[in-house]
Structure 1
Amino acid sequence: VVGCADPQGCRRACGAPAGCSNVAYPRLVLTLLPPGLRGLMLAVVLAALMSSLASIFASAGALFTLDIYQRLRPSAGPRHLLIAGRLWVLAMVGLSLAWLPVVEAARGGQLFDYIQAIASYLAPPVAAVFFLAVFVPRVNEPGAFWGLLGGLGLGLARLVPEVALGTGTCGAPGRCPPLVCGLHYLHFAALLFLATAVIVVAVSLCYPPIPRQHLHRLVFSLRHSREPRVDLDQSKDEVQLQDVEAGPAGQGAEPGAERGVAEPPAPPPEPPVWSRVVDANALILMAVAFFLWGYFA
């Protein structure tokens, strides 16, 4: 059933001519597991699904309510915002249900390929910005902003034609031009990551860098710094006011208070043994992930 060899056999087995990989996991659960474990596995799958959907819809409702609706209606009270968030979640649920036919038609109905393709078009810009923010102290806010916009635009330039025209299958090629959809989505994700990184660095170089006093223990090169960190959003007036309240240095003021520091003392450094263990595990996991990515792509 799962390894059907031709479109006719696949259509008879699962109703999808491109393949029956979507039914592999349900077949394993329903045919190999005994009744007790079968019910437990069903409960696990439903719990994971509900948890993922709840977090996604809650985040979407909060982003819409606080970042968009509250700006349009500044006088809205908590109850008003709560109702607006719930209505937005209902709209998102309706949009998700309306999107199901697109999921069934995309990539011949292969759900796993569709999920990975969507992630490859939308996730690399976010990953690139986070990576550069940690490892490149020269990156600043304008670079991150335009990098996200540019990366999202490039990802949508691939996603929209693919959804609208279809990539097709081996037996029935889609209408999407090979120049746009011919590159494998995993290879496109790698190129999108690099393109976003170039945009972030190029735009960041056109603007002043973030002062070093705001970056202690926030970037990799300053991870062991013991200097106090000043909040980037703290205004100069607040810093001067804290300077006056702290008094002259050495008269009972805490170290760093004269600089307007709004953070607790830095935690003690991690033991070197466990730090090396974590680093080794991270390298192993990244090596395995890169191998699987390159091999199956």
Structure 2
Amino acid sequence: MIGLIIGIIRFIMEFSYVIPPCGSGKPDPRPEFIKLIVGNVHYLHFGILLFFVTLIVSVSVSLLTEPIPEKCLYRLTFWTRFSDQPRVSIRQWRNETDDLAISNGKAKTEEPLEDLDETKSCGWLMLYKLCGFSSALEKKGENIPDKTPEELAKDASEFMIEDEKRARIVNGFALLAMVMAAFVWAFYA
């Protein structure tokens, strides 16, 4: 968000004044600070500066906020992707900490998020189907035997194991997409 705000500010500064054509001899109507920021800093150099600003803000916010407990991160990070430990949802963890805060005399500051409405329009159902959620909606009415959290975690960890042939094909297409993107970026920059 900080990078977006800074980028929009530069965009507004750059396009709020009409620059006279090169060689016309007309004076530049822009204020000096806009000439300094926009006129002397190429947009690609500004992109590098913006990258470092967002990097510093991201690291600072990450270091200043409370980390999510490890029990909420199983199969969500690269290092825990094959873990077969049951994951505690962040909502459940927050409710536990809120209950603990209430018992310690502190007020509850956050209400739990509402569950998604089960009756969706045709557009929402199509979006769910496109995103791969349709099987969960179809199985909602069926009688599925309940599994323990350990069994569900084991199933989820086994789901992460890829067929080696398919993994190589996907990696090859990803490499091709990156090469094509680098070519387009270099050609048009």
TM-score computed with the length of structure 2 as normaliser: 0.54
Q: Does 1:223 align with 2:81?
A: yes
Q: Which of 163, 170, 179 is the aligned partner of 1:287? A: 179
Deviation at 1:271, TM superposition (A): 1.3
SS of the residue 2:85 aligns to: coil
SS of the residue 1:221 aligns to: coil
- Residue 164 of structure 2 corresponds to 272
Alignment of 1:233-272 (within 5 A): 233-234=91-92, 235-236=95-96, 254-256=148-150, 265-266=155-156, 268=159, 269-272=161-164
Q: Does 1:183 align with 2:41?
A: yes
Q: Deviations 1:135-163 (Å, cap 9, x if unpaired)? A: xxxxxxxxxxxxx2x22232122112112
Cα gap change, 1:289/1:188 in structure 2, threshold over 3 Å: closer, same or farther? farther
* Unmatched tracts of structure 1, length 5 or more: 1-147, 240-251
Distance 1:281 1:237 in 2: 44
Identity %: 35
- Residue 160 of structure 1 corresponds to 12
How many residues of Structure 1 are paired with residues of Structure 2 in the alignment? 133
Q: Deviations 1:160-213 (Å, cap 9, x if unpaired)? A: 211212466556678351422443434433432332122111221122221122
RMSD: 3.6
Q: Does 1:209 align with 2:103?
A: no
Distance 1:237 1:285 in 2: 44
* Unmatched tracts of structure 2, length 5 or more: 100-145
Cα gap change, 1:293/1:174 in structure 2, threshold over 3 Å: closer, same or farther? farther
Q: Say which structure is richer in helix.
A: 1
Aligned residue type for 1:280:
G
Q: Which of 177, 192, 199 is the aligned partner of 2:50? A: 192
Question: Do the aligned residues in 1 keep the contact of 2:71 with 2:87 (CA within 8 Å)?
Answer: yes
SS of the residue 2:66 aligns to: coil
Deviation at 1:218, TM superposition (A): 2.0
Aligned residue type for 2:177:
L
Aligned residue type for 1:179:
I
Deviation at 1:286, TM superposition (A): 1.8
